[in-house]
Chain A
Amino acid sequence: MNWIAIGVTVKLAALTSLVLLGIGVGIAYWLSFSRWRWKFLVESIVALPLVLPPTVLGFYILVAIGPHSPVGRFYADLVGHALPFTFEGLLFASILYSLPFAVQPFAAAFDQVDRRLIEASWTLGASKLQTFFKLILPLSLTGVITGVVLSFAHTLGEFGVVLMVGGNIEGETRTVSIDIYDEVQVLNYAGAAKTAFFLLVVSYLVLLCVYAMNRKVWAVWPQR
């Protein structure tokens, strides 16, 4: 089993879901509470990675962060090297790719919060920020954890975007899914099988956590 690839993948997934926890909560809060009539435009953009082929998304990200784009040039001037085919470039792509997997559960959880509770909080002197941390976040904790876990799991298995943006550099951008592909290319089925099984088990365990957490009735637990 390629432990280096596993290490890169887990690091990528952990950082992606961490960043998405910050950005995603902000976007989801805005989507849930804004009364702007055109907010569906933003909603559809956030959902785009769900339907777009990863190669298409990867292609545009590659162009966007490449040395010929303003963003890419700015980054290269700042850091000294270009973004494509680096871990940071891959992280940036992963964040975009997994955005809906974090934002949608977050927003769904915020939508569930009774607006009358929020109003009561305001009349008790709590600002919108205090209300968010004291009331909204505790009430939507399951949804927030679900979003973090889902974006983690989704990043573990990404292939197309990694191939387009990250390339295949050992220890830097070579993730588990690329490693499996390489093993199959050189007809090393035994190596591919081990890594594939590892990914299968991890993904299953992660989803198990999500569904267990969202299960409403736990006979052995006291009622919530």
Chain B
Amino acid sequence: MAATLSLDCRKTFPRGLTVSVQLELPLDPPLVLILFGPSGSGKTTVLRCLAGLEQPEEGTIRFGQDLWVDAARRQVVPPQARHLGYMPQDYALFPTHTVTGNIEYGLSDLPQAERRRRVSEALALLQLQGLEQSKPRQLSGGQQQRVALARAIARQPQLLLLDEPLSALDAPTRGALCSELRALLTRLKIPTVVVTHDWTEALTLGDRIAVMSEGKILQVGVPQEVFSRPANESVAQIVGVETVVQGQVSDSAHGLATVQVNGIAMKALAVDAIGPSVYVCIRAEDVVLEQAGSGMTSARNHLAGRVDAIDPRGVMVQVKIDCGFPLTAVITRGAVEELRLAPGAPVIAAIKAGSVHLVSRSVV
């Protein structure tokens, strides 16, 4: 049997939330699993159970051959013995230790030469040279985040746990560091679980995604699949982005990028430091449908296609269109009648360039 991380446990909080999850993650090849959901959905609890900082009342947690938790037999492997790299949301850097001291903290059982080697390796990998003797409070948010990562990976853990790794940063830093983090995780080849509520992070970092709500896992799968084919209404609402397709950036000028999706050229707002390989993400609310042959609009993208399916969703109607790639739009019932939409009918989908989001998938 191939090694897996398997989780089947339940934890109830006095305030009422019951977290109950079943999850399997293959460990070979190492994957990045995203725990995705709104705040209060229990994703941090799952991460803390994996770290050994929270004990489930029921169930088991198994990492490969090791049984980490067996609640029935009251067996729990303490966090010290799980050989983890854990990065909490606020980094929890030790204020009394320097950058080097923080990174070295988990290496005390190694000989000094090896310890030095690991520290300088981690410093180099996260570009922290020159900050060795700084205290955490002298560092910027981005630097603190990198020190926390360096500390977590210096032990060469068998499992990396990252809780909202980018949420404490301001927006411009976040975008750049997200791609860096992706490159780092690809290079490290350590099984990783990342908690996030940001869909761009989920798409950039994840190989698998588990969508959580109210303590339960609603869907597990490859991020692109889960985003474009949510299993049910709740998942669709949580992820909020209905169209995710692969594309190649072919040109970027005057702040506008041209992306090729299945041979169709689309305009999107250019994003700095993004590789050629991207996910093109479009929210259904941002797609405007027009009758074929109507006039000009300000939207930069006019995609001709045919209606695939029409699904009523409350007051709104979800229209799936095939325009060279599957595209989802949400419009009102009135609009469906006025445009005389029916499966097979020709239609034009208009999307502003600003509503076409590009998410990096390039491996640096």
Contact A139 B95, beta carbon cutoff 8 Å: yes
The stretch that binds B, out of A119-127, A153-161, A190-198, is: A119-127
Given A124-B105, A124-B155, A130-B108; A117-B92 close (CB under 8 Å): yes
From residue A172, how far is it (CB to closest CB) to chain B in Å?
A: 43
Given A119-B79, A126-B106; A139-B96 close (CB under 8 Å): yes
Minimal Cβ-Cβ distance residue in A for B96: A138
Q: Among the listed A119, A124, A127, A139, which residue makes an inter-chain contact with B106, where contact means beta carbons less than 8 Å apart? A: A124
B27 at the interface (CB under 8 A from A): no
Contact A135 B53, beta carbon cutoff 8 Å: no
A216 at the interface (CB under 8 A from B): no
Query: CB-defined interface of B59-92 with A at 8 Å, one 1/0 digit per residue?
Result: 0000000000000000000111011111010101
Query: CB-defined interface of B201-218 with A at 8 Å, one 1/0 digit per residue?
Result: 000000000000000000
Q: Among the listed A117, A123, A126, which residue makes an inter-chain contact with B86, where contact means beta carbons less than 8 Å apart? A: A123
Bound-state Cα–Cα, A202 to B274, Å: 68
Given A125-B155, A135-B96; A119-B88 close (CB under 8 Å): yes
From residue A221, how far is it (CB to closest CB) to chain B in Å?
A: 14
Give the secondary structure class of A's interface: helix
Contact B79 A122, beta carbon cutoff 8 Å: yes
Contact A116 B108, beta carbon cutoff 8 Å: no
From residue A33, how far is it (CB to closest CB) to chain B in Å?
A: 14
> Which residues on the B side are within 8 Å of A123 (C-beta)?
51-53, 79-80, 82, 84-86
Contact A121 B53, beta carbon cutoff 8 Å: no
B146 at the interface (CB under 8 A from A): no
Contact B80 A122, beta carbon cutoff 8 Å: yes
B151 at the interface (CB under 8 A from A): yes
Query: CB-defined interface of A112-142 with B at 8 Å, one 1/0 digit per residue?
Result: 0010110111111111001000110011000
Interface residues of B (CB under 8 A from A): 51-53, 78-80, 82-86, 88, 90, 92, 94-96, 105-106, 108-109, 151, 155
Interface residues of A (CB under 8 A from B): 114, 116-117, 119-127, 130, 134-135, 138-139
In the complex, 22 of the A-B residue pairs with CB atoms within 8 angstroms, ordered by the A residue number, are A114-B92, A116-B88, A116-B92, A119-B51, A119-B53, A120-B86, A120-B88, A120-B92, A120-B94, A122-B52, A122-B80, A123-B80, A123-B84, A123-B85, A124-B105, A124-B151, A125-B106, A125-B155, A130-B108, A134-B105, A138-B96, A139-B96
